[in-house]
Structure 1
Amino acid sequence: MGLEREARLGIADYVVFAVFILSSLTIGVYHALSGGRQRTTKEYLTADKKLKVVPTSLSLLVSFQSAIMILGYPAEMYMRGAQLYIGNIGMLIGTILTTRLWVPLFYNLQITSTFEYLHLRFDSVAVRKLGSVMGIIATVSYMGTATFAPSTALEAVTGFPVWASILVTAGVGTIYTCIGGMKAVVWTDVLQSVIMLGGILAVIVMGVVKVGSVSKVFEICQEHERLNFFDFNFDPTRINTFWTIVVSDTILWWQVYGTNQASVQRFCSLPTLKKANAAVLLAVPMQFLLITMICFAGLVIFAYYMHIGCDPLEQGIIQTGNQILPYFVMDTFRSLPGFPGLFLATLFSGALSSISSGLNALSAITWEDFLKHRFRHLKESRKALCTKLLVLFYGICSTGVACLAILIKGPVIQASQTLGGAINGSTAALFILAAFTVTSNWKGALTGPIVSFIIILWIAIGGQSIKGHNQYLPPGPTDRCDILNRTSFYNTSVLNNVTSSYNDTIETLTVYDGDLLNRSSTLEPNDQELTGIQHLYGISYFLYAPLGILIAIVIGLVVSWATGGEKGRYIDKAYIFPLCDALCCCCPSRVKDKGCACRGDNNPRQENGVERNVLRDTKFQSIKTANEESRC
């Protein structure tokens, strides 16, 4: 029993953690009582369009880097090697494309809900509602998972009940988001980004000191095949290859920063388009730094346990790779009061940033797409109250999803993450059909994503039946575990109590809302030989979104063509990507002048003798009015 007490947090750790929680709440209270006191929907949802570039960029950074990533990436480095790090290439490509394409499109339209754009483009309430429902389901399921993940880690190292941890995390995130709005979300994200970087840096420094040097870390990792950055295998059933990671991460970050409600809401809240682009671009080096630190932390932890000759995962001291980071912290930081508390603050920083961003986004979607036209007669203060109540409602919903994980363990979490992964490809395809094609109509935009969602969901569920297809690298030595008595460093009795629920949950977690790439961490003795339809079920989780997009686009275009496309309906060039201007900036002017042809503008100057720019303004306003009145 004395050993169990050694593994628990001390008073200093709880003080550090409490200070972090109170700081987040204080920021929310400050913004609830300052400025316009969140009395209008414009201030509450968009901060009166007065956000600053650097805080917005930091908010973009941590909104999609949850505790799932902080736990999952080191596990990935530990068990499959450094191939995942190549995703930074896709992140760079996707972000640059976002600033050239999505940011100008949405910013110039000055919309609050991204799905309002679908209404403008297709003149269809049904398409808009489809996108909204998909976004709501994916975000709620992700927030529940992001809440549950650090809670299990907290129980594993302290014995603090999961249910109590969930209530604290969801409660704090809901409270400061509810009272402080967008301003509170952004500025707490700034605080949380600093804590995340500090906590990860502490892990790296301690690990390097224990191993001896950075060069020694790389030497050990190279010896055990963990520096496998480039695998050019074209086999789609290989989980981590250069091609699957780069392609999937390009799409992922293009969607995360370009069409995700939380991102669009932020960059559209900046005063100018130039600053909006700057905020997104500034997130790239910070994102690169954060991912580099987290991945390197995984390599450092691996090198440390190889250096001492005891792989805790192979030995069975811990049951899943996702427990390797909290185990390392309690193993090496026990004699330094406050540092385990800093690690817990790091985990919960990731959770709170994801929760608050999701709640703010859900409030905007629901208000703009479902309620605004119904309550347009209310006073502005009453409208703002409605959006705050929506935050409270979705906070309760996400808490419920997190609590379901305790009651039903694996299946609910796996189902919610599989659902989210299937939704992401369909949602991305909706925007691609709208922005990149001029022949797509509302019928194709409805049919393609729905069919794609069903197919990918079927594949993802089938993939759950394949066991032993984890493709892990050989484990490390355990010959010195008995000598070192490693079990004395960890509360194994508490750990074993949460093993099954933690394993089932984290096994299907990843980096971004619902697009779960299934970075599992349960060892299997051998990879399963795939046969028949298992080849389809066994495709890499990274390919779910790209495959979903491809299916939705093909079906959407075929259905649109079969139903007459957009013949007889003028599509304003404001709703179509100006590809010639955005991607051919070095082309001769005569090429740019013909750019209207790729925007669906066959007669760029006049329609029935009336100047197009006049018609555009008129039609834009009429459709905006139709949105508010919910006219099909």
Structure 2
Amino acid sequence: MPAPQGPPAVQDLTFSLWDYGVFALMLLISTGIGLFHGLAKGGQKTSEDFFTGGRRMSALPVGLSLSASFMSAIQVLGVPAEAFRYGAKFLWMCLAQLINSALTAQLFLPVFYRLGLTSTYEYLERRFSRSVRLCGTVQYVVATMLYTGIVIYAPSLILNQVTGLDIWASLLSTGVICTFYTTIGGMKAVIWTDVFQVFVMLSGFVAITIRGVLLVGGPAEVLSIAANGSRLNFADFSLDPRSRYTVWTFVMGGTLLWLSMYGVNQAQVQRYVACRSEREAKMALLVNQAGLFCIVASAVACGLIMFALYGHCDPLLAGAIAAPDQDPRGNVIGFWVVPGVFGVSLVVLPPHLVSPQYMPYLVLDIFKSSPGVPGLFLACAYSGTLSTASTSINAMAAVTVEDLVRPQLPALSPKRLTLISKGLSLTYGTSCITVAALSSLLGGGVLQGVLGGLAVGLALSLWVAIGATLYPPSAATMGVLPSSSTLCPPRNVTNATSGTALPTPPPEPLRPSILGEFYSVSYLYYGALGTLGTMGTGALLSLLPAGPAQESHRPQGVLWWDIIRATTSDIPKGDNSPGDEDKARVTQVLLEKPDGEGTAPCDPPRGGTVTESDV
């Protein structure tokens, strides 16, 4: 392996015209896919075509779309940096994703698929009341709009800090193009552009991996350096919840975090209910799992290569790149708003510990003599942004139409409802671009139980997330692994750090010891905290006496076991899709409220049971 070289200055690294050409080609192809699906066969004739592709999608494209939807540019840029700083144990996230896929396939998918829902929040009205449904819809739209705005803004800022890429040009180009093809093509356009963008993301990671391995001296050398630097740290079974990454934070906290995204999140549910059968939907989850594993494993491999190249000359310690907290605009990147299982989870990434500038710096450094290849990475990063943003825009439009517009205007024609759906997509896309622009200006009874639990879960997530932002945990507490700048040649950089070790955070503010420990909990447990707060408070408040109106509203038959029993008892099992369609039709009959007053929405009609002949 050649002697380590000092990191080049940031101003020496920039994109070429060839790189911008590759990036523009990715945007052009994405636009073309959206136009094709928006105009082919006369476009979308109903809102169901627009939001679910007519429920005729196959497993492969839906599965790849599922894996792309939450792999935003924040993950593309951030996961390699996390692996560089914390080691390869990030691969345990794949186990959390596997557990999540199994739970989603067995517990959540059958319910939503057999109910034939477009909006997940319609279930809340069937199970509880319309007020609970509206609460869920409003919090989802607000949280998703904030999250999507940051997803659009973050890569523009990071690449601007490293390469000088114009923030407004990248922000507007990606935001406008994403809004355009999502509005024109609907769900089919979103899914098929996601498929294309998954391959772009993987291509970018593969190119970086091959070039990096060759520079280091081969895969064995990469693993040897990683092992000597304590980066192959898979056997970390610490029970300390303050440690950022352990086997248990991934298995328990990570599973709940991903379950909030795949089990009940509108964007993901909307995809697997678009499959032409329940069996296809479950196959899509398997394809999704394979896609997620490839993306996460590739990102972790890039992080290990990064350590092999820079472990003894850390660009952050040497002053070649900056931590986000050294730029006031970067503070927003460490603050994610993610829809949780029963509310909103806020994920905080302490900006003084991990810099998302590592990845673009690595790419421009190792490919400085290969024009066009850094453009592939640029396309890779923004493919993550496009897939996440288009997914969110379509999902927000869907819940608005299904939960707010359709119940108030039931007589709207399919054509007019489709136009409203497209108009909402355009509106939400514009709103997300606005949030992204504003981010650049930022500085540093059963029913009462459900509503109260939602409020407490949200408040708890807000409390711990904001507390961790104001009082960030120390590097030692979080388990940050050391790197060094001892082998860097002298450079005239005022903010360079000589010697070893860890990025030095600012002095910790004084705080009570109990709160200090609470705020130091790993971010992977935030979803669990919010969920436990929601369910615990809801369970306690549901013990209070309920009024007559609430008593009469408590339905029977909308729980998981009711729906499974109702849709399997009267229809013979089969492997083909017509069997799944028959189940969906039987479920729809079960959900239609009969004329008898006081009968629950899922109860069979009085005087008999529902059979296949009734359908």
Taking structure 2 as the reference length, what is the TM-score of the superposition? Answer: 0.81
Structure 2 letter corresponding to 1:311: D
Unaligned runs of 5+ residues in structure 1 are 412-439, 500-520, 583-606, 620-632
Aligned counterparts of 2:390 and 2:175: Cα–Cα separation in 1: 9
Structure 1 letter corresponding to 2:210: V
Distance 1:192 1:614, change over 3 A: closer
* Residue in 1 that maps onto 2:393: 359
Please report how far the alpha carbon of residue 385 of structure 1 lies from its aligned counterpart in structure 2 after TM superposition. Answer: 0.9
Structure 1 letter corresponding to 2:93: G
Please report how far the alpha carbon of residue 339 of structure 1 lies from its aligned counterpart in structure 2 after TM superposition. Answer: 0.3
1:275 to 269, 280, 286: 280
Aligned counterparts of 1:580 and 1:390: Cα–Cα separation in 2: 34
Please report how far the alpha carbon of residue 158 of structure 1 lies from its aligned counterpart in structure 2 after TM superposition. Answer: 3.6
1:142 to 139, 142, 147: 147
Determine if contact 1:14/1:341 at 8 Å carries over to the other structure.
yes
Aligned pairs (5 A) from 1:217-232: 217-232=222-237
Determine if contact 1:375/1:383 at 8 Å carries over to the other structure.
no
What secondary structure is seen at the aligned counterpart in 1 of 2:41?
coil
Please report how far the alpha carbon of residue 468 of structure 1 lies from its aligned counterpart in structure 2 after TM superposition. Answer: 5.1
Aligned pairs (5 A) from 1:501-540: 523-524=504-505, 531-540=513-522
Aligned counterparts of 2:602 and 2:315: Cα–Cα separation in 1: 68
1:154 to 156, 159, 163: 159
Please report how far the alpha carbon of residue 4 of structure 1 lies from its aligned counterpart in structure 2 after TM superposition. Answer: 7.5
2:409 to 371, 375, 379: 375
What secondary structure is seen at the aligned counterpart in 1 of 2:159?
helix
* Residue in 1 that maps onto 2:365: 331
* Residue in 2 that maps onto 1:254: 259
Structure 1 letter corresponding to 2:539: L
* Residue in 2 that maps onto 1:446: 451
Determine if contact 1:472/1:523 at 8 Å carries over to the other structure.
no
Structure 2 letter corresponding to 1:573: G
Aligned counterparts of 1:357 and 1:617: Cα–Cα separation in 2: 37
Aligned pairs (5 A) from 1:480-495: 480-482=487-489
Aligned counterparts of 1:446 and 1:3: Cα–Cα separation in 2: 54
Determine if contact 2:213/2:305 at 8 Å carries over to the other structure.
yes
Q: Deviations over 1:370-398 (max 9, x none)?
A: 11123333322211111111111111111
Aligned pairs (5 A) from 1:430-579: 441-467=446-472, 469-470=474-475, 471=478, 473-482=480-489, 523-524=504-505, 531-564=513-546, 571-577=555-561
Deviates more, 1:191-200 or 1:248-257: 248-257
Please report how far the alpha carbon of residue 57 of structure 1 lies from its aligned counterpart in structure 2 after TM superposition. Answer: 0.4
Aligned pairs (5 A) from 1:611-626: 616=603
* Residue in 2 that maps onto 1:315: 318
Unaligned runs of 5+ residues in structure 2 are 1-7, 324-354, 497-501, 567-593, 607-615
Aligned counterparts of 1:453 and 1:614: Cα–Cα separation in 2: 29
Aligned counterparts of 1:171 and 1:614: Cα–Cα separation in 2: 43
Aligned counterparts of 2:558 and 2:407: Cα–Cα separation in 1: 24
Determine if contact 1:59/1:186 at 8 Å carries over to the other structure.
yes
Determine if contact 1:469/1:528 at 8 Å carries over to the other structure.
no
What secondary structure is seen at the aligned counterpart in 1 of 2:484?
coil
Determine if contact 2:182/2:393 at 8 Å carries over to the other structure.
yes
Distance 1:571 1:3, change over 3 A: closer
* Residue in 1 that maps onto 2:582: none
Aligned counterparts of 1:615 and 1:88: Cα–Cα separation in 2: 37
Please report how far the alpha carbon of residue 55 of structure 1 lies from its aligned counterpart in structure 2 after TM superposition. Answer: 0.4
Determine if contact 1:177/1:391 at 8 Å carries over to the other structure.
yes
Aligned counterparts of 2:447 and 2:430: Cα–Cα separation in 1: 34
1:184 aligns with 2:201: no
Structure 2 letter corresponding to 1:132: T
Please report how far the alpha carbon of residue 525 of structure 1 lies from its aligned counterpart in structure 2 after TM superposition. Answer: 7.2
Distance 1:455 1:478, change over 3 A: closer
* Residue in 1 that maps onto 2:90: 84
**Identity across matched positions, percent:** 37
Aligned counterparts of 1:118 and 1:579: Cα–Cα separation in 2: 15
Structure 1 letter corresponding to 2:603: R
Please report how far the alpha carbon of residue 300 of structure 1 lies from its aligned counterpart in structure 2 after TM superposition. Answer: 0.9
Determine if contact 1:311/1:475 at 8 Å carries over to the other structure.
no
* Residue in 1 that maps onto 2:337: none
* Residue in 2 that maps onto 1:196: 201
Deviates more, 1:164-173 or 1:78-87: 78-87
Distance 1:558 1:22, change over 3 A: same
Distance 1:564 1:196, change over 3 A: same
Determine if contact 1:116/1:128 at 8 Å carries over to the other structure.
yes
* Residue in 2 that maps onto 1:43: 49
Aligned counterparts of 2:54 and 2:564: Cα–Cα separation in 1: 33
Please report how far the alpha carbon of residue 84 of structure 1 lies from its aligned counterpart in structure 2 after TM superposition. Answer: 2.4
Aligned counterparts of 2:532 and 2:63: Cα–Cα separation in 1: 31
* Residue in 2 that maps onto 1:513: none
Distance 1:91 1:581, change over 3 A: farther
Aligned counterparts of 2:604 and 2:200: Cα–Cα separation in 1: 46
Deviates more, 1:388-397 or 1:158-167: 158-167
Distance 1:252 1:35, change over 3 A: farther
Q: Deviations over 1:4-48 (max 9, x none)?
A: 885221121111111111000111111111124123211111111
Distance 1:151 1:522, change over 3 A: farther
Q: Deviations over 1:58-94 (max 9, x none)?
A: 0000001111111111111111222322122111111
What secondary structure is seen at the aligned counterpart in 2 of 1:298?
helix
Please report how far the alpha carbon of residue 523 of structure 1 lies from its aligned counterpart in structure 2 after TM superposition. Answer: 4.2
Please report how far the alpha carbon of residue 101 of structure 1 lies from its aligned counterpart in structure 2 after TM superposition. Answer: 0.8
Aligned pairs (5 A) from 1:93-108: 93-108=99-114
Aligned counterparts of 2:225 and 2:321: Cα–Cα separation in 1: 22
Please report how far the alpha carbon of residue 335 of structure 1 lies from its aligned counterpart in structure 2 after TM superposition. Answer: 0.7
Aligned counterparts of 1:538 and 1:235: Cα–Cα separation in 2: 10
Distance 1:407 1:526, change over 3 A: closer
* Residue in 1 that maps onto 2:22: 16
Determine if contact 2:127/2:554 at 8 Å carries over to the other structure.
no
Distance 1:577 1:35, change over 3 A: farther
Distance 1:523 1:345, change over 3 A: farther
Determine if contact 1:140/1:397 at 8 Å carries over to the other structure.
yes
Aligned counterparts of 1:202 and 1:52: Cα–Cα separation in 2: 30
Determine if contact 2:314/2:483 at 8 Å carries over to the other structure.
yes
Please report how far the alpha carbon of residue 479 of structure 1 lies from its aligned counterpart in structure 2 after TM superposition. Answer: 3.5
Determine if contact 2:149/2:435 at 8 Å carries over to the other structure.
yes
Q: Which has the higher helix share?
A: 1
Taking structure 1 as the reference length, what is the TM-score of the superposition? Answer: 0.78
Aligned counterparts of 1:402 and 1:472: Cα–Cα separation in 2: 32
Number of residue pairs matched by the alignment: 530
Deviates more, 1:543-552 or 1:528-537: 528-537
What secondary structure is seen at the aligned counterpart in 2 of 1:270?
coil
Determine if contact 1:36/1:43 at 8 Å carries over to the other structure.
no
Q: Deviations over 1:289-342 (max 9, x none)?
A: 211111111111111123xx4221111111132111100111010111110100
Distance 1:365 1:568, change over 3 A: closer
